[in-house]
Structure 1
Amino acid sequence: MKLGAFFSAVVVAIVAIQAQDAAQQQQQDQQQQTQPEWHPKTIGHDEVKPFAQPEAITICKTSGGLQTSGSPRGGCRGSGHGSQIYGRSTWFNGVWAIMYSWYFPKDSPSSRMGHRHDWEHVVIFIDNPAIPEPKILGCSPSWHSGYNKYAPCPPEVIDGTSVKVKYEHSWPLNHALEITNDGGSFQDLIMWDQMTDFARRALNDTKFGKANTPMNDWNFQGKLEKSWPFK
């Protein structure tokens, strides 16, 4: 009697699990059917809105950029919707690497030179993000196709737990990032893992011409290797 009761209970439990699995599978199928298909879209450079920090709110559109015609500064004096920093981090060669990236609608250091779209970034290397006071070990701001590398970072460019970075114009050929002594302001940061799947896909799949998205899945690891400041 006890064995029969135990066997019956097992059968009931298995049936219940199978019913639950079937219900979950049906729910997943319905979600997949209602999930909108992603298509690449572009918007005007002055319509780009930053992700709110820390929660990402996005409709997954990327900027169409700006042509190099007109003034090199035309349409590039900051966004009325606010500026955006894209972040991504990981362990690399035993230290914690954090990449901070900025998008610009065009890279035109002088009239009618350059190209539509620009991505610039800086990689900051710290010892351990899990300890109360991480130490900044090095910093590598992007410069054209390479980096200016500092290990350690000069003390005058460090403000507490922050490294001060500027976007500079090197006439007539280049825009780039560089560390600076001057004070500045903070901008909204959205980390790669905080973005929606569609937002990450947009940054992975969208072609920005001669500008490469540094923190996407195809470029991130290679950029860390190239920016490594320690001999």
Structure 2
Amino acid sequence: MNLQIIIATLFATVVTCGTATVDHGKIEPFPQPEPVTISENAAIKFKPQLFVSASVCASFLAVNAAGETTDGLKGSNRNDACKYALLGSQVYGRARWYKDLWPSCFWTGFASRRHDWKSIVVWIDNPALETPKIIAVSMSTSDTTYNHPMASDYIGTNTSFRVRYQLGLGSSNMTFTHLDGDYQPLIMWEQLTDAARVALNESFKFEDAEMPFNDEYFEKRLEKARPL
């Protein structure tokens, strides 16, 4: 049986329109819990190393333990006050069986608009193995589309990729890189507080960008990202 592990990271510029918002630089990250389940151990093993180009925003947080969400950048320019995340950054993950595959996801949001989510999707054969085999990798190119780089393009170890976020021709994108990046604390969906999950399930808070790993959109994104 094949399994898919989708891991996605969340970056800066996610914003909200609802109540209980906090300045984008004042959201505190969740500490990375000790993994307990097979899913949590696999997600940590495949968490990517992220390099963020100087021309784009640093990584910020989406939600805190109290369920308060970021109010986003202030908009005088798209990199306004976003070069440094003084309280740190965060990786958000989610995993479950899907059509005989196993998805665990890293999501990212950047400054190409008020909030813009990016995903890295790593498909493996079995998360319970000591060293699962990577079947494929998918990277989001928009809210609803993914590309699938060839195995010859993978850069990193047999578990952790090096990934760069950058500005391309007219749009932002993610690509493999030889540059050393950073590892952000990973928090899985089930490890979030109830208040944080409720806040992330309120999709209206993220304006025109779909919140990719909440209950409404998670399965739809799995189908979009599935390379097989």
Q: How far apart, CA to CA, are the structure 1 residues paired with 2:26 and 2:64?
A: 15
Q: Which residue in the other structure is 1:210 paired with?
A: 208
- Unpaired segments of 5 or more residues in structure 1? 1-38, 108-114
| Equivalent AA in structure 2 for residue 76 of structure 1 | C
User: Would you say 1:68 and 2:75 are equivalent positions?
Assistant: yes
Cα pair 1:84 1:102 within 8 Å, conserved: no
When residues 41 and 129 of structure 1 are mapped into structure 2, their CA distance, relative to the original with a 3 A threshold, is same
Displacement of 1:182 in angstroms is 2.7
The count of residues paired between Structure 1 and Structure 2 equals: 181
Displacement of 1:181 in angstroms is 3.2
Normalised to the residue count of structure 2, the TM-score between the two structures is: 0.72
Q: Which residue in the other structure is 2:27 paired with?
A: 48
Structure scoring higher RCO (CA < 8 A, sep ≥ 6) equals 2
Normalised to the residue count of structure 1, the TM-score between the two structures is: 0.71
Q: Which residue in the other structure is 1:87 paired with?
A: 93
Cα pair 2:120 2:137 within 8 Å, conserved: yes
Secondary structure (helix, strand or coil) at the match of 2:109 reads strand
RMSD, aligned CA: 2.2
Secondary structure (helix, strand or coil) at the match of 2:66 reads coil
User: Would you say 1:102 and 2:81 are equivalent positions?
Assistant: no
Q: How far apart, CA to CA, are the structure 2 residues paired with 1:92 and 1:185?
A: 30
- Is 176-185 or 93-102 further displaced after alignment? 176-185
Cα pair 1:48 1:79 within 8 Å, conserved: no
| Equivalent AA in structure 2 for residue 58 of structure 1 | A
Q: Which residue in the other structure is 1:149 paired with?
A: 148
Displacement of 1:136 in angstroms is 1.2
Q: How far apart, CA to CA, are the structure 2 residues paired with 1:57 and 1:82?
A: 12
Secondary structure (helix, strand or coil) at the match of 1:120 reads strand
Displacement of 1:50 in angstroms is 1.3
More helix by share: 1
| Equivalent AA in structure 2 for residue 229 of structure 1 | P
Cα shift readout 1:44-64 (whole Å, capped 9, x = no counterpart): 111122111117971211001
Alignment of 1:145-184 (within 5 A): 145=143, 146-150=145-149, 153-154=151-152, 156-172=154-170, 174-184=171-181
- Unpaired segments of 5 or more residues in structure 2? 1-17, 35-62
User: Would you say 1:128 and 2:142 are equivalent positions?
Assistant: no
Displacement of 1:86 in angstroms is 0.3
Cα pair 2:27 2:64 within 8 Å, conserved: no
Cα pair 2:105 2:121 within 8 Å, conserved: yes
| Equivalent AA in structure 2 for residue 101 of structure 1 | W
Displacement of 1:68 in angstroms is 3.4
Secondary structure (helix, strand or coil) at the match of 1:154 reads helix
- Is 129-138 or 57-66 further displaced after alignment? 57-66
When residues 227 and 184 of structure 1 are mapped into structure 2, their CA distance, relative to the original with a 3 A threshold, is same
Displacement of 1:153 in angstroms is 3.4
Structure index of larger Rg? 1
When residues 79 and 67 of structure 1 are mapped into structure 2, their CA distance, relative to the original with a 3 A threshold, is same
| Equivalent AA in structure 1 for residue 148 of structure 2 | K
| Equivalent AA in structure 1 for residue 223 of structure 2 | E
Cα pair 2:93 2:104 within 8 Å, conserved: yes
Q: Which residue in the other structure is 2:190 paired with?
A: 193
